[in-house]
Structure 1
């Protein structure tokens, strides 16, 4: 039984190619009147993050695995659009030779002063298509860090997140049951949450970006499995 996994690019390449890792969109701000009826427009930044993992097992590649572990530090923006998705599909294998397809996507998004302007979606889908006895699992884990003041992940935190990313990748070699894989993914997600909470607790408290948004820093996990 062979394992087929999508090729990985370098970290720099992944950052450049992945849609919106630190991308910003522009939107019209408030028009202000000037002499002779002229107007000027302020431009506001909107952070966008989009990540997905796709795995597809077929009789030709009966074991497929894909994972994504993305970190988006969007900084001070007036709004954030974050989308995270995992899709696993098993197609056309038989009961005697079943398929196994696993897709896991971990998305970390940090924002400053955007608690009331967050549009986040986190979805997963596992599909057995004429695949009796196949194992198919999709898990999407989205971690939203919101603070009223300027915040960046420390080098130490990023290094430790890198360790968790490698451990997520090690699930490719696992032939344990889907329930066990699900439990290991959940355990890794809990470690990510604890690490992010610890990073927030130890971060220096600067002035709030917007005095009207002096809310308590939070780490929110959105989990969807199928």
Structure 2
């Protein structure tokens, strides 16, 4: 099989870039793969990046990695967050197939009223001369905005930690790519539910335009071989 790469489109599932005035907050720096990170002093601008990359070939038939990061930040005027997953399978055969899995879950919380947010979430899976290989890249970005800063309570952190553990187990599993996709999608739905429960307890505020309410937005993109 020749080198294959799914064609790129301008679909919002492939890349999300937003500049909006919403309840925001952030922190400068690159994320580390930790279950939760406490709020820090908020700068005027913030940058956060997560990237998971895997490359399977004849020397390393199975490569699987995941990241699950949680950041809770203070108010900023501008923030840029990026989440990316890339998986490559190269040079294997149908009789000796490769498996490459890259999964990145990114949770960020912002607080404030007039923050410009640029959020990018992308993934890409490629088979290069790799008949019968299984390649999956999944990027999930959860953006939580609240009127005023708040931190996840112990119960929320425990639930997110549990999802992280199950994501690790799925990543290490030998499930077929199609079933793995389904299971990962289920975990993403659980994260959204946990975050919605958390923001329901977050303080609300009143502005000139009315009551400001917390919100949760999920940006997702899955790419893989075999295809959908």
Normalised by the size of structure 1, how large is the TM-score?
0.77
- Give RMSD over aligned pairs: 2.4
**Could you tell me which residue of structure 2 aligns to residue 125 of structure 1?**
124
Which structure 2 residue ranges, 5 or more long, are not aligned? 1-28, 224-228
The answer to whether the Cα contact below 8 Å between 2:142 and 2:217 also exists between their aligned partners in 1 is: yes
Partner SS, residue 123 of structure 1: strand
In structure 2, distance between residues paired with 1:225 and 1:131: 20
Cα 1:112–1:213 shift into 2, 3 Å: farther
* 5+ long unaligned stretches in structure 1: 1-17, 27-43
Q: Deviation per CA, 1:143-162: give whole Å up to 9, x if none.
A: 00011122211122112111
Compared CA separation, residues 145 and 115, structure 1 to 2 (3 A) = farther
Secondary structure of 1:169's aligned partner: helix
Matches for 1:1-226 after TM superposition, within 5 Å: 19-20=30-31, 45-113=44-112, 117-203=116-202, 205=203, 207=205, 214-226=211-223
CA distance in 2, matches of 1:20, 1:76: 18
SS of residue matched to 1:75: coil
Between 1 and 2, higher relative CO (CA 8 Å, sep ≥ 6) is seen in: 2
Aligned length: 190
Quick check: 2:145–2:215 contact (8 Å CA) kept in 1? yes
Shift of 1:100: 0.6
Kept after mapping to 2: 8 A contact 1:24/1:48: no
Q: Is the 8 A contact 1:77 1:113 kept in 2?
A: yes
Residue 116 of structure 1, CA deviation: 5.0
**TM-score (structure 2 length as normaliser):** 0.76
Change (3 A) 1:95 1:61: same
Q: Which structure's CA Rg is the greater one?
A: 1
Contact 1:79 1:114 survives alignment (8 Å) = no
The aligned residue for residue 18 of structure 2 is: none
Whichever structure has more strand as a proportion of its residues is 1
